[in-house]
Amino acid sequence: MDGWVWRVFTLAICSATTTDYTSSTVPITATITTTTKSPTTVTPPTTTVLKCDNGGKPENGVCICPDEWTGVTCSEENFCGEQQLGGFRFPRTPIGWFAYSEEKCEVGTSGAGKPQASARCLSINGSPGFSPPQIFQCDLTLSDIQKNLTSPADLETLATSTQILTSKAEELTAENVTAAAEIVNTLLLSANATESVRVSAVATVSQLLNATVPDDTKENNATLGLTVTLDQLSVNLSLSQKTSQSQVVQPNLVVQSAQIPAADTHGVQFTSFRGISGNFLPNRIHLNTNATQVVVENSFIADALIYIRFPPGEDARSRQTDSNVSLGFVLYQNDRFFRSKLYMRRRATIRVLSASVRGQEPNVVPQHVEMMFRPRLINGTSLYDFSCVFWNYSQKDWSTSGCSKGNTSDGLMRCFCNHTTNFAALWSYRENYEYAEALGAISIVGLSLSFLGLIVTIIHHIKEIFQKEEQTNLISVQSRLCIYFSLLAFIITFVSGVQNSSRQIDIEVQTDDRTNNLLVSDERVEPDRGSCTAVAALLHFLLMTTFMWNSVNGTQILIQKMRRSLPPLWTLLSMALGWGVPALIVAITLGVTYRVDNPLGYRQEEFCWLAALDKNKHFSFEKPLFWGFLLPVGLILIYNIILLSCFRKSFLECFTLAVLLGVSWVFGYLVLITSGTMNLVFSILFCLCTTTQGFHIFIITATTPTFRAAMSRSVQYLSSARPIRRNTRTRS
Ligand SMILES: *[C@@H]1O[C@H](CO)[C@@H](O)[C@H](O)[C@H]1NC(C)=O
Ligand SMILES: *[C@@H]1O[C@H](CO)[C@@H](O)[C@H](O)[C@H]1NC(C)=O
Ligand SMILES: *[C@@H]1O[C@H](CO)[C@@H](O)[C@H](O)[C@H]1NC(C)=O
Ligand SMILES: *[C@@H]1O[C@H](CO)[C@@H](O)[C@H](O)[C@H]1NC(C)=O
Ligand SMILES: *[C@@H]1O[C@H](CO)[C@@H](O)[C@H](O)[C@H]1NC(C)=O
Ligand SMILES: *[C@@H]1O[C@H](CO)[C@@H](O)[C@H](O)[C@H]1NC(C)=O
Ligand SMILES: *[C@@H]1O[C@H](CO)[C@@H](O)[C@H](O)[C@H]1NC(C)=O
Ligand SMILES: *[C@@H]1O[C@H](CO)[C@@H](O)[C@H](O)[C@H]1NC(C)=O
Ligand SMILES: *[C@@H]1O[C@H](CO)[C@@H](O)[C@H](O)[C@H]1NC(C)=O
Ligand SMILES: *[C@@H]1O[C@H](CO)[C@@H](O)[C@H](O)[C@H]1NC(C)=O
Ligand SMILES: *[C@@H]1O[C@H](CO)[C@@H](O)[C@H](O)[C@H]1NC(C)=O
Ligand SMILES: *[C@@H]1O[C@H](CO)[C@@H](O)[C@H](O)[C@H]1NC(C)=O
């Protein structure tokens, strides 16, 4: 169901109906900081010329490509096409990744449903092609593999089998992840592991990073141990390889190593570039082994970046000219292996980047480490704050010591650290609330009429009470007065307070604040400032009292019509029902949902009214609008409609009662269950009826003989005209 329908309904009085229709989903551009200026704003013309193919997105003069395409305009193939190999069918796969056969293990084997073979897509002499398929023994399980690891075995088969067994990340349990992590750890540490074993192991880790399993101590231990091994591996790779650089890139994990001469290198920069998806691909990973400074020219297409500067001058010359420095980088798609107790992460994605440096001489200490991370913002949110951290293995949590914050230029969070370990930028976001104009023209006219109508009606009834005319039904007038007062107070509160006066969006973002404190949560919710919650609670209470008094009044009329005298203590009972029940409901709702540091459990941020939608902007039955308002009001309405059907009178009287009983609110419920044109019609009817409810009450009052008599007396008094003989014998 669309968010705006709920907005209309939840607003009680149809504000901003028209703007909501047109503006449905205007994305709010995430402004990272107000002070930063993208360098690309200087040269925008390129964006107009650029045309991206194959679903690429032009951004700041560069095409951001989908996984399967590359090149300046995303027109170069970056995949192996679907192919039949050795009796297995492999789907289209980006270069560097593994494909799994469409043929699955048969039911009855322990690996039932798992692919029978895997093949890696490689770029051989510039043209993409699959490597020979690796066949999986369908009866193997992870625990079998664990047992076989202790005896000399064919590591390649074990590595492939583990990879295939973990290929469906969503099916993995915590035990599976633990077992797989232990196997992979052993494989990577094994002196006999060949390159293909390592690649397969890295691919397995990449798959494990996609598993969604609950927090599990044993699993945390195994996966955290894996990160230590990966750090070592990233440096060791360069030592065992003939080439000076090597790289394994899988969708969620990059392991890069390099060996550089220590003598005349200034610095090293490792960069992961952006794609439409967040996946890692070999063509998006770049290493510059001789960078004198961070290259930020294209920073807007970088996703994560690390720059390590080595001591210059005499230090460099004092190093032996032929000695080498080994470097290793590991980039994780998320922080799944780094489970923090200090930082509560619910929806944000945190990339973790690690750098390891090892030289032949022990004193090759990086002088300066600079990092940049691009937050992957969820739709409708913007960056609020971040902290630069590293993983402290003895503390088993993030720590900020030795790290400091930079600015957020080009939407990249900048960090500096004086050591090299597993780094991350923890960040928090906040919702981009759409503070629509609360009151549309229809509502203003309707509410003004209602306001005036109610004032006149209330004055009339008060006068009636004081004049104590015989035919006045005092108890009925009293309960009607309660309805009118509630409605009037509701309108006044609504007009003056429904628009949030202390809007979160007006509070400055914190990204320029350089104090690097550890964030406690990825969601930023401003603590309550009180006024908006007070308005919401008052509106909640007043609308509930209006409905309760409608019912009390209706019941009372029915009892009197049936010529029965009202029960004893009726006044007391009606007070308890009319004021007490709503107060109780509001108190319970507040007690259950409201917290000072998270007021949005009770109310909305855009309007001071009850919360209705969940995080995905869908209506939620767990939110107070449903159970704290719609449900009780719905029950009252059903009761009122039953009351109404008991009267069986003229159309006018029926209409009168319907207005008094608030039956027009049925349209609100019809809005919820209809769609298309009917929905629009009901929305408009609901809007018209509710805003003008007070005015209807006035019209009804104006048609009563007592009111006409009072009016004519006033006119008579004011104009001192000749006395009118009409008396007020008509019974009401
Ligand atoms: C952000 O910091 C970098 C390096 O510290 C600096 O070069 C750049 O000018 C800064 N940008 C802004 C907008 O302050
Ligand atoms: C994963 O663990 C479950 C039990 O938690 C087990 O039944 C299943 O066989 C395991 N899967 C693999 C591939 O070992
Ligand atoms: C490594 O290989 C050697 C010979 O190739 C073998 O003797 C040794 O047992 C192997 N080690 C492991 C752990 O498999
Ligand atoms: C693994 O162990 C099983 C028995 O548990 C054995 O049948 C199988 O041949 C072994 N596989 C390898 C690759 O060594
Ligand atoms: C990992 O999971 C996400 C969502 O759960 C999915 O979009 C993505 O394709 C998965 N990646 C791989 C490599 O399976
Ligand atoms: C975690 O792993 C370490 C070794 O890496 C081990 O000493 C410790 O007992 C393990 N803890 C748990 C809870 O498994
Ligand atoms: C890396 O090399 C060091 C020493 O050269 C060794 O102790 C360590 O086990 C190796 N680690 C891996 C994962 O190869
Ligand atoms: C690195 O660059 C500097 C100048 O920018 C140059 O003098 C030096 O030789 C380069 N080092 C290597 C290893 O290419
Ligand atoms: C440093 O690496 C180069 C290749 O990159 C190699 O030729 C040279 O022998 C290495 N030096 C040492 C001391 O390992
Ligand atoms: C985010 O918003 C854009 C444009 O408003 C839309 O195309 C995209 O589907 C949205 N993504 C998600 C995950 O909702
Ligand atoms: C990591 O945490 C431990 C225990 O809290 C502390 O003693 C140690 O200094 C920390 N390490 C770093 C590098 O801050
Ligand atoms: C890093 O900075 C912290 C705090 O600024 C300091 O205590 C620590 O000694 C520094 N470490 C190095 C290796 O410079």
Domain region containing 670? 4-16+443-707
**598: DSSP letter:** B
545/643 same-domain check: yes
Whether pLDDT at 532 is above 80: yes
Which residue owns the Cα nearest ligand 9 atom 1?
324
Among the residue ranges 11-15, 89-93, 184-188, the one predicted with the least confidence is 11-15
Which strands sit side by side in the sheet containing 253-261, from one edge to the other?
Answer: 245-250, 253-261, 324-332, 352-359, 422-431, 381-392, 397-399
122/184 same-domain check: yes
SS3 245: strand
Whether pLDDT at 203 is above 90: yes
CB 253 within 8 A of CB 205: yes
Residue 68 lies in a domain: yes
**Can you tell me which atom of ligand 1 is nearest the CA of 294?**
4
Range from 167-181, 460-474, 513-527 that averages highest in pLDDT: 167-181
What DSSP line would sit under 85-140, residue for residue? ETTEEE--EETTSEEE-S-BPPBTBTTTTSBSEEEEEEEETTEEEEPPPEEP-TT-
In terms of Cα–Cα distance, which of 116, 172, 103, 106 is closest to 142? 172
Query: pLDDT band at 708, cuts 50/70/90?
Result: confident
Measured from the CB, is residue 148 less than 6 Å from ligand 3?
Answer: no
CB 566 within 8 A of CB 557: no
**Can you tell me which atom of ligand 3 is nearest the CA of 153?**
14
CA distance linking residue 157 with residue 165, whole number of Å: 12
The ligand placed nearest to the CA atom of residue 258 is 9
**Can you tell me which atom of ligand 12 is nearest the CA of 419?**
13
Q: Output the domain CATH number for residue 677.
A: 1.20.1070.10
The reported pLDDT for the residue numbered 10 is 42
Residue 668 lies in a domain: yes
Of the residues 236, 238, 326, which should be mutated to test ligand 7's pocket, given the most ligand atoms within 8 Å of the CB?
Answer: 236
Q: Output the domain CATH number for residue 427.
A: 2.60.220.50
Helix boundaries (H) for 133-289: 142-150, 155-165, 174-189, 195-208, 217-240
CB 555 within 8 A of CB 584: no
The reported pLDDT for the residue numbered 724 is 47
Rounded to the nearest angstrom, the distance between the alpha carbon of 269 and the centre of ligand 1 is 18
CA distance linking residue 367 with residue 313, whole number of Å: 12
The ligand placed nearest to the CA atom of residue 223 is 6
The reported pLDDT for the residue numbered 11 is 44
Which residue owns the Cα nearest ligand 5 atom 4?
210
In terms of Cα–Cα distance, which of 535, 665, 510 is closest to 12? 665
Would you report the helix, strand and coil content of the chain in percent, each value rounded to 5? 45, 20, 40
Rounded to 10°, the helix 142-150/174-189 angle is: 30
CA distance linking residue 37 with residue 30, whole number of Å: 13
* Max Cα–Cα distance, the chain, nearest Å: 122
Rounded to the nearest angstrom, the distance between the alpha carbon of 192 and the centre of ligand 3 is 6
pLDDT in tens, 106-156: 998 888 899 999 999 998 888 899 999 999 989 889 998 998 887 767 888
Which residue owns the Cα nearest ligand 5 atom 10?
210
What DSSP line would sit under 200-219, residue for residue? HHHHHHHHHTT------HHH
489/589 same-domain check: yes
Q: Which residues pair with 386 in a beta bridge?
A: 427
**Can you tell me which atom of ligand 7 is nearest the CA of 189?**
13
Which residue owns the Cα nearest ligand 10 atom 10?
379
CA distance linking residue 121 with residue 255, whole number of Å: 17
CA distance linking residue 415 with residue 404, whole number of Å: 6
Q: How many CA atoms lie within 13 A of 311 on its CB side?
A: 11
Q: Which residues pair with 619 in a beta bridge?
A: 613
477/393 same-domain check: no
**Can you tell me which atom of ligand 7 is nearest the CA of 230?**
13
Helix then strand count (H, E) for the chain reads 21, 25
Tokens of 167: 């290929």
Measured from the CB, is residue 221 less than 6 Å from ligand 6?
Answer: yes
The reported pLDDT for the residue numbered 600 is 87
- Element (DSSP H or E) covering residue 163: helix 155-165
Measured from the CB, is residue 418 less than 6 Å from ligand 12?
Answer: yes
Of the residues 192, 194, 197, which should be mutated to test ligand 3's pocket, given the most ligand atoms within 8 Å of the CB?
Answer: 192
Which amino acid belongs to residue 211?
A
Q: Could you tell me which residue, 452 or 47, shows the higher pLDDT?
A: 452
If one counts the domains in the chain, the total is 2
Q: What is the dihedral angle through the alpha carbons of 8, 10, 14, 16, rounded to the nearest 10 degrees?
A: -60
370/449 same-domain check: no
Measured from the CB, is residue 27 less than 6 Å from ligand 10?
Answer: yes
Do β-strands 93-94 and 79-80 pair in parallel, antiparallel, or remain unpaired?
Answer: antiparallel
Q: Residue 83 phi/psi, 5° resolution?
A: -150, 145
How large is the average pLDDT for residues 431-448? 74
403/449 same-domain check: no
Measured from the CB, is residue 236 less than 6 Å from ligand 7?
Answer: yes
Rounded to the nearest angstrom, the distance between the alpha carbon of 16 and the centre of ligand 5 is 39
**Can you tell me which atom of ligand 11 is nearest the CA of 401?**
14
Contacts of 445 (CB under 8 A, 6+ apart): 691
Which residue owns the Cα nearest ligand 7 atom 8?
232
Residue 719 lies in a domain: no
**Structural domain ending residue among the three candidates 431, 453, 486:** 431
Contacts of 576 (CB under 8 A, 6+ apart): none
CA distance linking residue 631 with residue 315, whole number of Å: 75
Rounded to 10°, the helix 441-467/705-719 angle is: 80
CB 484 within 8 A of CB 458: yes
421/491 same-domain check: no
CA distance linking residue 480 with residue 17, whole number of Å: 30
Whether pLDDT at 592 is above 90: yes
The percentage of residues in the chain with a pLDDT greater than 70, rounded to a whole number, is 84
Residue 622 lies in a domain: yes
Tokens of 459: 């004055």
Rounded to the nearest angstrom, the distance between the alpha carbon of 111 and the centre of ligand 5 is 21
CB within 6 Å of ligand 9 — which residues?
Answer: 244, 259, 322-324, 360
Rounded to the nearest angstrom, the distance between the alpha carbon of 237 and the centre of ligand 11 is 28
The reported pLDDT for the residue numbered 91 is 96
**Structural domain ending residue among the three candidates 370, 402, 431:** 431
**578: DSSP letter:** I
**Can you tell me which atom of ligand 12 is nearest the CA of 404?**
5
Rounded to the nearest angstrom, the distance between the alpha carbon of 235 and the centre of ligand 9 is 14
408/276 same-domain check: yes
Rounded to 10°, the helix 3-10/676-691 angle is: 20
Distances in Å between the alpha carbon of 291 and those of 243, 358, 405, 695?
20, 18, 22, 75
Q: How far is CA 291 from the centre of its chain?
A: 38
Which residue owns the Cα nearest ligand 6 atom 2?
221
Among the residue ranges 132-146, 313-327, 495-509, 632-646, the one predicted with the least confidence is 313-327
320/423 same-domain check: yes
Which amino acid belongs to residue 698?
F
Query: pLDDT band at 72, cuts 50/70/90?
Result: confident
375/464 same-domain check: no
Which residue owns the Cα nearest ligand 11 atom 13?
392
The reported pLDDT for the residue numbered 707 is 78
Among the residue ranges 333-337, 510-514, 725-729, the one predicted with the least confidence is 725-729
**Structural domain ending residue among the three candidates 384, 406, 431:** 431
Tokens 């400091």 map to which residue?
404
Rounded to the nearest angstrom, the distance between the alpha carbon of 256 and the centre of ligand 10 is 33
Please tell me the pTM assigned to this model: 0.81
**Can you tell me which atom of ligand 1 is nearest the CA of 35?**
13
The reported pLDDT for the residue numbered 104 is 93
Which residue owns the Cα nearest ligand 11 atom 5?
395
355/447 same-domain check: no
422/467 same-domain check: no
Residue 504 lies in a domain: yes
Tokens of 29: 């551009």
Residue 247 lies in a domain: yes
Whether pLDDT at 317 is above 70: no
CA distance linking residue 62 with residue 82, whole number of Å: 29
Q: How high is the mean pLDDT of the chain? A: 81
Contacts of 16 (CB under 8 A, 6+ apart): 7, 436, 437, 438, 439, 440
CB 630 within 8 A of CB 543: no
Residue 339 lies in a domain: yes
SS3 462: helix
Q: SS in 3 state form for 621-674? A: CCCHHHHHHHHHHHHHHHHHHHHHHHHCCCHHHHHHHHHHHCHHHHHHHHHHHC
The reported pLDDT for the residue numbered 314 is 52
Measured from the CB, is residue 38 less than 6 Å from ligand 1?
Answer: no
CA distance linking residue 185 with residue 224, whole number of Å: 10
Whether pLDDT at 457 is above 80: yes
Rounded to the nearest angstrom, the distance between the alpha carbon of 310 and the centre of ligand 8 is 13
